[in-house]
Chains A and B, each alone.
Chain A
């Protein structure tokens, strides 16, 4: 009895499979549905045929772009960078003298404002390096404030690993890229 019902079950399943496959075979060569996929494509709908983004306001670059050589002696101020150890943002002892010279320049030119750029080497990931570059610029800023320069004459900007001075992939190049750079903004 048990064997029999199992046999019937198998038969039923078998016929079902045959039925299903038979059904689908009829469809071969025919089409079940017609579909028009969405055509939406970024960049093709930009206003005025221009594929550029509409950024808010002006880029404000005029006020804060460094003006090289705007003040006497500014070139010397801007030419000397300070450097950092790998994945570190502490000021090296040998760079304290350079920062003291920069403080001296800023004291002699009370209207001058300075912008400090923080940079990293290409090792490491770019998100983390943007933060690390910020810490390096801030470390230089803090040291200048410690030397008596008013906080509101100083700004920082981190470029992370985006602006290397040397694109070679060796320790010498990386050491050059782990830097803080100083610009005079004029007034």
Chain B
């Protein structure tokens, strides 16, 4: 009996630390996953700023793919509320909340203080209780830091909101690069690069962007260093130099060159040296994307008469066709885990483009619902749980791997070819 008691004491003694260290893992990729419900009463403090910061939090919950916000109309106390009063917990439980987020926003000179708290109702624990201090014009960075912490402490997920899109933005007849945080905050056009800039792609460390520009009256490849704004020419052969894609080490770039006559896939060092031709077909070969281990590439080829997705072993250069459904499959991208390939699929029944997913072995193809109005150019979130794309209205949208939601990121349109960065520091 004493032995048993001692064991119980030891086990229970260990439990608190286990509870703290190991967040509950829920397979949120499983079909039928129910989103966790969050109640978020109005934030206290400086009114306009408190409301705008709360609305960014709400947006982030939406695009997280894991949470849904309970309509404030049902709250016993809709706020403003600086923190969650312990005596109010039964009231939040009553409306089915899994978590409550409360905050206070204060402005001091040009600095914003966000005091924000997240409470887990199943355990009555305060998961997060933090003051974030930021410059007023980048207060959304405090939300990103909080939301990444929230994703981690609730579901053990990797950072998401500290990642950005780079996309092509059309202004009049001109196309330029544009970056924006993945929730639509902090939009920043990158000027320069001439009249026509296309095909942006992040380096894996988020410090460089490869892109195509007609700066010298030819579609050539360049790499922008974000810290210095300096641009290096990577490839400017006769013909097209397009669709750059870094491997996960950042040391190699795959791209499309037509210097030998027709568009073929090449792999080169990140400075453009040692170009190595990987394909050899009479047809169009374009849009390469590396597997996470760098040993395989998916690309688009019209060698079967129509554009389809192919998987190549980089070492042997043997390529196998993996899509057999549809007659126009383009723009493949490997998922960060290497278990899926997303691509743009033309659906015969409705004559529209959709984002589709397929396993690299060609099995399990599924079409995501998306906007249903014509979706193109998929790109995976850094953790591989989400896919972003652009629709015919020219905006960037985010969906999950089962298409259970579609959230708009940008407004105003004019965007194409998004590329999703890794989590940035």
Contacts and interface: CB of A to CB of B under 8 A. Distances in A.
Contacts of B189: 43, 51
Contacts of B1: 1, 5
A159 to B, nearest CB: 8
B141 A61 contact: no
B188 A131 contact: no
**Which 3 A-B pairs have CB atoms at the shortest separation, nearest pair first?**
A52-B192, A53-B192, A21-B124
B344 A125 contact: yes
Given A53-B193, A138-B261, A20 B123 contact: yes
A180 to B, nearest CB: 15
Interface stretch (A11-19, A75-83, A92-100, A105-113): A11-19
B47 to A, nearest CB: 21
B407 interface: no
Interface of B: 1, 4-5, 8-9, 12, 15-16, 19, 82-86, 115, 117, 123-126, 128-135, 138, 141-142, 144-145, 164, 175, 177, 179, 186, 188-194, 196, 198-199, 212-213, 215-219, 222, 224, 226-233, 238-240, 242-243, 256, 258, 261-263, 284-287, 300, 302, 306-307, 328, 330-331, 344, 353, 376-377, 416-417, 424-425
B188 A41 contact: yes
B97 to A, nearest CB: 16
Given A128-B330, A130-B242, A131-B256, A162 B191 contact: no
Contacts of A40: 424-425
A27 interface: yes
A45 B224 CA distance: 14
A73 interface: no
A157 B179 contact: no
Given A25-B86, A43-B189, A55-B192, A127 B12 contact: no
Given A37-B145, A41-B138, A43-B190, A131 B175 contact: no
A36 B84 contact: no
24 contacts: A1-B1, A8-B4, A13-B12, A13-B15, A24-B126, A25-B86, A28-B86, A32-B126, A33-B129, A33-B130, A34-B130, A37-B145, A51-B190, A51-B191, A53-B193, A54-B229, A55-B215, A61-B217, A126-B416, A128-B284, A130-B219, A130-B243, A131-B242, A138-B261
Contact of A53 (B145, B231, B306): B231
A123 B191 CA distance: 28
A65 B195 CA distance: 14
Nearest to B216: A60
Given A42-B179, A47-B228, A35 B123 contact: no
Nearest to A11: B8
B393 to A, nearest CB: 13
A35 to B, nearest CB: 5
A9 B287 contact: no
Contacts of A44: 188
Contacts of B175: 162
Contacts of B164: 42
A64 B217 contact: yes
Interface in A133-174: 134-135, 138, 155-159, 162
Contacts of B285: 131
A184 interface: no
Contacts of A130: 198, 212, 219, 240, 242-243, 256, 286
Contact of B125 (A9, A20, A131): A20
A167 B145 CA distance: 43
A53 B224 contact: yes
B77 to A, nearest CB: 15
Contacts of A157: 217-219
A158 B217 CA distance: 10
Contacts of A37: 132, 134, 141-142, 144-145
A40 B25 CA distance: 32
Contacts of B232: 56
A5 B344 CA distance: 59
Given A20-B123, A55-B193, A56-B233, 20 more contacts: A16-B16, A20-B125, A24-B124, A27-B129, A36-B132, A38-B424, A41-B138, A43-B190, A53-B177, A56-B222, A57-B216, A59-B215, A87-B302, A125-B377, A126-B416, A127-B287, A128-B307, A131-B240, A158-B219, A158-B239
